[in-house]
Amino acid sequence: MHYKKPLELTSQIATNINASVILMHGLGADGNDFAPIVQKLNLPNVRFILPHAPAMAVTRNSGYIMPAWYDLYGLTGSSQEDEKGIKQSQEYINSLIENELARGIPASRIVLAGFSQGGAIALYTALRHPQKLAGVLALSTYLPIKSKLVDEAHIANAKAPIFMAHGTYDDVISLELCKVSLKVLQANHYDVRWHQYNMAHNVSLEEIQDIHTFLTAVLA
């Protein structure tokens, strides 16, 4: 699988990078998609890593080749899931975490974040990671491979704070599907901070402000 070099962004006032946020885009987009939001967050001393998903044929989109973190068959509770592809993306994101560790950023100051399909990878990877992370941003997304969470989750991130947000009018990943994932996380005693916005499958200004508050708190 071919991965382009991730986009890296920092605030103009960054003088001493001491934290990293690995932020994954949604299906069909790329790392540049979230650059304007990173600019709006304007967090000093935080490095944002915006990776680009590899191009692949997506079954749900009639085999059309596009950037994707894994193949997608459907978005219902009973849809088949591409566990092999999800694990490949997990391995890639873990390699980006290792890069940040090598640059002197401790795992406890690394946040995994993502929107839609990228958010699914953020949740999947963070809850299985063997080192304590600072937290997770799960935006307009769902928890993949729910049936294996209990067996595969690592205790290191059992208490990781999770910012989970969804739009009331999301017609791509339904609010109902997201809330199934929310209930699974809550049933397993994860620290989920739930946010619901009057929006579709996108990111709102109010949500960006709440993300800023969350990141400021977990990276304090």
- Other Cβ atoms less than 10 A from the Cβ of 13: the count is 9
Write the CA distances from 88 to 1, 2, 70, 83, 93, integer angstroms: 9, 11, 8, 9, 9
At 22, is the secondary structure helix, strand, or coil? strand
**Is 2 a catalytic site residue?**
no
At 157, is the secondary structure helix, strand, or coil? helix
**Is 201 a catalytic site residue?**
yes
Rounded to 5 degrees, φ, ψ at 64 are -65, 135
Nearest-angstrom CA–CA distance, 71 and 80: 10
**Residue of 116, 140, 174, 181 marked catalytic:** 116
Write the CA distances from 130 to 144, 160, 185, integer angstroms: 19, 12, 18
Burial 139-163 (b: 16+ CB within 10 A, else e): bbbbbbbbeebeeebeebbeebbbb
**Residue of 25, 33, 170, 174 marked catalytic:** 170
**Is 129 a catalytic site residue?**
no
Nearest-angstrom CA–CA distance, 69 and 54: 7
Nearest-angstrom CA–CA distance, 46 and 14: 7
**Residue of 201, 204, 210, 212 marked catalytic:** 201
Catalytic residues: 116, 170, 201
